[in-house]
Structure 1
Amino acid sequence: MDARSATEAERQDAGAGVIATRGLTKRYRGGQLAVDGLDLTVPAGSVFGFLGPNGSGKTTTIRMLMGLIAPTSGTARVLGSAMPGAARTVLPHIGALIEGPALYGHLSGRDNLLRYDAADPTADPRTRRARAGSALERVGLTAAAGKKAKAYSLGMKQRLGLACALLQPRRLLVLDEPTNGLDPQGMREIRSLVRELASDGTTVFLSSHLLDEIEQVCTHAAVMARGRLIVQGAVADLAAGARGRLTVTTPDTGEAARVLKEQGAGDVVAADDQVTADPPERDLAEVNAALVAAGVRVRGFGVERASLEDAFVALTGEGFDVAG
């Protein structure tokens, strides 16, 4: 892609979104409604977290976006073109890791990458081995490059699948649960790599059921539940939409709990030397003054910053798998 066409592509992405769906719906045979009327917009240059519990419709949505299955109704545009009709022209600009990597177990990690690269009609065979080596290095598999893929651990297979997606520079990278099977150090490395790719201008669409993963690496997010879109927007805005918990540190927890309830606080919980509650709809300075007036020895008073978990619970009334 020359500089002029690259600039034009960036302009189109910024105007319409790298991914844009309208009323996207998938109903499987037997009546199961997997995705229900999805309106999604992924801004260019974002790290977009697609968040929801397992079974919420995330992978089905991604499969429709990549042209692997057709929607029952609605539309999906990726890089400005309608899918699945434009798959042949769109997919060469996308790197993807969906539902785990499909690997040749009898081949080494390096040979798997060479085979994937050879299947790309746009790939220059003269630089194939260099690209494979670079991709292996980026995901931390250089030392295991000669090992057969069938002997790889789940985490190593996940890394190799990601390396396949990184063989060529891409305008869009689509990752479905990219840290699945990785240990904590591996998770940190993949998250760091995602940030690096985004800083280079690649739009990253990252599906996950891990709230902390989305909060750590994503600029924007959408929340799915039972096939429907609950909310989407900048991660900071989503968290700001939920009120944090009020925390009072005091040796007089019983009296503090009583006063907070009188002041309109909800879900009051006392434990050790702290009382937490949902803040009342009034000036918190007045609440603090009421505690002091009641003889409560206030040693700490404040509202913790709301997290994405708080926002999810506020929006859906459900808990969430935070740790995975």
Structure 2
Amino acid sequence: MGEPSATEPEQPGEQEAGEPVIATRALTKRYRGGQLAVDGLDLTVPAGSVFGFLGPNGSGKTTTIRMLMGLIEPTSGTARVLGRPVPRATRAVLPHVGALIEGPALYGFLSGRDNLLRYDCADPAADPRTRRARVAAALDRVGLTAAAGKKAKAYSLGMKQRLGLAAALLQPRRLLVLDEPTNGLDPQGMREIRTLIRALASDGTTVFLSSHLLDEIEQVCTHAAVMAQGRLLAQGPVAELAAGARGLLVVTTPDGAEAARVLKEQGVGDITVTGDRVTGEVPDRDLAEVNAALVAAGVRVRGFTVERASLEDAFVALTGEGFDVAG
């Protein structure tokens, strides 16, 4: 009797050189009752990038991900994933995509290992000859080898997130779609997931990451997009997005009140005085002139710097929202 043969997944087709892994044009989703969840989205995710997807509650991120994965159909517009149109070519595309969306669906009465074995058995592209070895490797990659025999219902939220990520890594993937992958993880676990994401990207996997943790996005992502109220506000390399927000002018002086007066005259806005630290928005003028005006007014300047804008600054400038941006 011969060895069992694996079912070869239908190929999604070769992407042309420079073609993005995800590309949407005027992608729109309107639900019954007229609710417009996604409005004319033009999204471009470069191959090999770690792409952060940001937006406040109800911004349309999850709806977008569902359309990209073929779980729901758009009202209008187009989406291409791995060079093929979705949802029409979803069956060809999905075997090459790993996904963890809105938390993993697990069988609580099964162990972590048996959950992964069951996931792999349901995958027509999975080779049964290598199943147990691939499950063991995926568990090791997310740090769950020691807990592999424990029932999933006894797992913490962070452990369940790790197990869901392991399920997405059972096969080599060209694209990995992760929705809040660090949810429930402690700082050490978050650091390990960041390291894993970077390793996957260095191996050629494109990672599409939805998260409300702006600091996490800034640390791990090469590119990002910001959505609000169903519309795309900005996208591009993370460094460029952060640079698009004004930095913070910081003057260190014992003469706070006088410094604030002079800075206001020099066009500095949103001025705050805290002890010997005076801060404000960087004005549209030569900063050397601003410093000279402070000195000419008798302000004892002990420090004069500009703190660079962060991705958080860019996000707030674009959306007017604070930290609670999950959704």
Unaligned residue ranges in structure 2 (runs of 5+): 1-9
Divergent runs of 4+, >6 A: none
1:283-302 CA-partner distances (Å, limit 9, x unpaired): 00010011111111111101
Q: Taking structure 2 as the reference length, what is the TM-score of the superposition?
A: 0.94
Percent sequence identity over aligned pairs? 85
Task: Supply the distance in 1 between the matched residues of 2:319 and 2:151 (Cα, whole angstroms).
Answer: 45
SS at match of 2:270: strand
Residue 235, structure 1, aligned to residue 238, structure 2: yes
Q: How does 1:260-275 map to 2 (within 5 A)?
A: 260-275=263-278
SS at match of 1:15: coil
Among 68, 78, 81, which residue is 1:65 paired with? 68
Residue 39, structure 1, aligned to residue 42, structure 2: yes
Question: Which residue is 2:100 aligned to?
Answer: 97
More helix by share: 1
Question: Which residue is 2:201 aligned to?
Answer: 198
Alpha carbon RMSD of aligned pairs, Å? Answer: 1.7
Question: Which residue is 1:219 aligned to?
Answer: 222
- Which has the bigger relative contact order, CA under 8 A and spacing at least 6? 2
Question: Which residue is 2:136 aligned to?
Answer: 133
Question: Which residue is 2:259 aligned to?
Answer: 256
Q: Taking structure 1 as the reference length, what is the TM-score of the superposition?
A: 0.95
Kept in 2, the 8 Å contact 1:211–1:321? The answer is no
Task: Supply the distance in 2 between the matched residues of 1:316 and 1:89 (Cα, whole angstroms).
Answer: 36
Task: Supply the distance in 1 between the matched residues of 2:274 and 2:158 (Cα, whole angstroms).
Answer: 39
Among 39, 50, 54, which residue is 1:51 paired with? 54
Q: How does 1:118-197 map to 2 (within 5 A)?
A: 118-197=121-200
1:188-237 CA-partner distances (Å, limit 9, x unpaired): 11111111100111000001112111101000000011111110000011
Task: Supply the distance in 1 between the matched residues of 2:159 and 2:57 (Cα, whole angstroms).
Answer: 22
Task: Supply the distance in 1 between the matched residues of 2:55 and 2:187 (Cα, whole angstroms).
Answer: 21
- Deviation for aligned residue 1:313: 2.0
Aligned-partner residue type, residue 253 of structure 1: G
Question: Which residue is 1:276 aligned to?
Answer: 279
Kept in 2, the 8 Å contact 1:54–1:209? The answer is no
Kept in 1, the 8 Å contact 2:50–2:221? The answer is yes
- Deviation for aligned residue 1:323: 11
1:161-199 CA-partner distances (Å, limit 9, x unpaired): 000000011000000111111112111111111111001
SS at match of 2:259: helix
Against the structure 1 CA distance between its residues 237 and 42, is the aligned structure 2 distance closer, same or farther, given a 3 Å change threshold? same
Kept in 1, the 8 Å contact 2:55–2:325? The answer is no
Task: Supply the distance in 2 between the matched residues of 1:125 and 1:18 (Cα, whole angstroms).
Answer: 29
- Deviation for aligned residue 1:320: 3.3
Q: Number of residue pairs matched?
A: 317
Kept in 1, the 8 Å contact 2:27–2:77? The answer is yes
Residue 26, structure 1, aligned to residue 38, structure 2: no
Task: Supply the distance in 2 between the matched residues of 1:186 and 1:198 (Cα, whole angstroms).
Answer: 18
SS at match of 1:266: coil
